[in-house]
Structure 1
Amino acid sequence: MSTFVDIKPDQWVLAFDEPYGPYMRSMQEQLEMFRNRGGGWDSHSAAEIFHVYHVTDVKPKTYFIGESVTHPNAYLKDRQPRTHVIAVGATKEEMVALRDRLFSIGDETDDRIEAEMYRRIEKFSVREYAKAEAKIYRLLPHFFKGRGLC
């Protein structure tokens, strides 16, 4: 059984929007996915994946929401599953900041990896593109006669 984050009325929660919630994984595994850009949903924004809700009432497996910070076309239900709650805070701003920090971890990591990858491959790619260009010149020499390559 899942352990729920302890929430009380009048607090703010950071939670997964239902389609992104931990269904086939534990919450820990779901959150670990955000070591990569977008946690596997790299074309989705933080506001689509994570919602920030003001809690009005708490039940054993669900909670009720008042105000929310979501993406513009979000389909919201008043009653949300507690299994999707990631963190609790006193203010909306605190939860939005946590959402943005969590989401940015994968972005920053992937940006560093891509920069290093391109740095390491730069000399190799220059040589490979030159070889490919030479093959094109040999394949169609009548277009490249004045270049001295044929």
Structure 2
Amino acid sequence: MTKFIDIEAGGYALVLDDAHFDPSKDISENLSVLASCGYDFTSNWDRDDPEAMMPVLRVAKVMPKTFLAEGELRHGARREAYSGRRYREDVVAFSSDQKELLTLRDRLFEIGERADREIKARADKVVLPIVEQFRKQALTELHEALPEHFGEARDV
């Protein structure tokens, strides 16, 4: 059984948007993909911004498995007012301070983005020399295969 975050009416909930929540997994499994915001090819988290993926909504009423929420959802460049029922298992964090949740959301995304930057930097150190070697070899083979285009003496 999923353990729910304690929430209260009048406060704010940081929730995982439906499009990024896999109901076959619990919230911790869903959030674990933040460790690879996009560099991991199985992740699509880099295709949306944090505001779209984790909206902060005001809690209007709390029920055992759901809650009524109000706020704004973002889908790409489009923003729309939201008022509706949300599952409590989607809640990442709760606070009476909306700014606290916005700061937490930014911090969560920075963790994955920082990991991606480090992975890419280290991978580039290993991969770029190999890429250069194979590109150079391919260019040499192109010159040999098409001497009329790449040779020293060309008829103009």
The answer as to whether partners of 2:12 and 2:97 remain within 8 angstroms in 1 is yes
Spell out the pairing of 1:121-140 with structure 2 (5 A cutoff).
Answer: 121-140=127-146
Q: After superposing the two structures, state which structure 1 stretch, 87-96 or 15-24, moved more.
A: 15-24
Over aligned residues, Cα RMSD in angstroms? 1.9
For 1:61, the equivalent position in structure 2 comes to 65
SS in 1 for 2:32: helix
Tell me which amino acid in the other structure corresponds to 1:70.
Answer: L
Question: What are the superposed Cα offsets for residues 89-108 of structure 1, whole Å, 9 maximum, x if unpaired?
Answer: 12111111111111222111
SS in 1 for 2:64: coil
Equivalent pairs: percent with the same residue? 25
For 2:148, the equivalent position in structure 1 comes to 142
Question: What are the superposed Cα offsets for residues 9-54 of structure 1, whole Å, 9 maximum, x if unpaired?
Answer: 1111101112322401111111111100158223111122111011
Tell me which amino acid in the other structure corresponds to 1:4.
Answer: F
Q: How many residues align?
A: 146
- Return the alpha-carbon distance in structure 2 between the equivalents of residues 105 and 24 of structure 1: 24
- Return the alpha-carbon distance in structure 1 between the equivalents of residues 27 and 69 of structure 2: 21
Cα gap change, 1:122 to 1:110, in 2 (>3 Å): same
- Return the alpha-carbon distance in structure 2 between the equivalents of residues 117 and 55 of structure 1: 43
Tell me which amino acid in the other structure corresponds to 1:6.
Answer: D
Cα gap change, 1:65 to 1:81, in 2 (>3 Å): same
Tell me which amino acid in the other structure corresponds to 1:40.
Answer: S
Question: What are the superposed Cα offsets for residues 50-77 of structure 1, whole Å, 9 maximum, x if unpaired?
Answer: 11011121111111123x2531345734
Q: After superposing the two structures, state which structure 1 stretch, 83-92 or 16-25, moved more.
A: 16-25
Report whether the alignment pairs 1:51 with 2:58. Answer: no
Report whether the alignment pairs 1:107 with 2:113. Answer: yes
Shift of 1:118: 0.8
- Normalising by the residue count of structure 1, what TM-score does the alignment of the two structures yield? 0.87
